[in-house]
Amino acid sequence: MKFLEQLIKKPDVFQRTVGLSLKQFELLSKQLIHPWQVAEQQRKMNTNRKRKFGGGRPYKLKDLKLKLLTVLVYYKAYLTQEFLGILIELDQANVSRLLAKMRPLVEQAADVELATYLKKVKEEYEKSDSQQHINNWSAFIQRYPDLKDVAIDATEQQCYRSQNNETQKKYYSGKKKLHTLKTQISVSMAGKIIDISDTYPGSIHDKAIIDQERTVQKFPERTCQRFDSGYQGVSKESPSHYIVIPIKKPYKKELSLFGKELNTAHSKRRIIVENVLSRLKKFKICKYTFRGRINTYNQTFRNISALLNFRLNNSIAV
């Protein structure tokens, strides 16, 4: 625990180690209090609980800030749980339990609207046509500027090869020549992550994820959705939506100068999603081989996304 206490005393080292400034960390700690209290109340009142209410050993890390700091250090540096336990004077089993308890709470504290924002706004947009809650598209965009123009892409992260032959085939990515997990994100031009897909095996094509998630249909029809050239066919399948895809070079011909200019303009707008994916991978848990259980990966990915949105929304607090 001395490691965590010393870390808080060094703002520059803290930000490089945790991914948040001290002020941002303090704010996130306050926003975590309510989700933690709710989760603890539910845990203690669980009908399957064998101990009486309040029974059991107290947490060795009693301070909620230290619990959060432990999780953030783990996400940023992706140390092994054994090594992290040595740094904070906990055994590996307790580190594992702490991470499991905090995993569903980080997104709630950092960006509680991440899971519901797009659905809520789409419902309001569709309702506004009949009840005239928002007079026109300009007024709607002034209220929800993140939905004017979005960039969509998928990212892959290596995972361990399963010993089951059928499972390992499913997770093998022919593109990466590795066993991977694939997740798709939608990003506004301001760099805010507004939608995250489920996580899919690496063998699934990006276009198949779009179809299964019905990503295009999640957005209002007039939202400009930008894709890379791997999503051919999306615009034909959804003609009522505003979709932009790079123009492909004709077979055995050169792309026209106008086509090149359009592609360049599109790339300059779509690069934001690549930048956000790069920021995600600054947290090493989203970059190196994922060591955890596959069924925990999506929530971990969502937690890092929520932290990026939190950092963006509180960029002044540095």
pLDDT digits (tens, 9 = 90+) for 184-194: 999 999 999 99
How many whole angstroms from its chain centre is CA 8? 26
Say what the pLDDT of residue 52 is.
Answer: 64
pLDDT < 70: residue spans in the chain: 1, 47, 49-58, 128-135, 316-318
Token pair for 307: 């932290």
DSSP labels for 53-76? TT-SPPPSS--HHHHHHHHHHHHH
Instruction: Give kind and range of the element (H or E) at residue 149.
Output: strand 149-158
Token pair for 17: 């180690």
Instruction: Give kind and range of the element (H or E) at residue 199.
Output: strand 193-201
pLDDT digits (tens, 9 = 90+) for 43-68: 777 767 666 655 666 677 788 998 99
Contact 140, 134 (CB under 8 A): yes
Contact 79, 39 (CB under 8 A): no
| Per-domain residue ranges of the chain | 2-110, 117-280
From 120, 276, 124, select the one nearest 188 (Cα to Cα): 276
Global confidence as pTM: 0.91
Question: How many alpha carbons fall within 13 Å on the CB side of residue 183?
Answer: 27
Contact 231, 211 (CB under 8 A): no
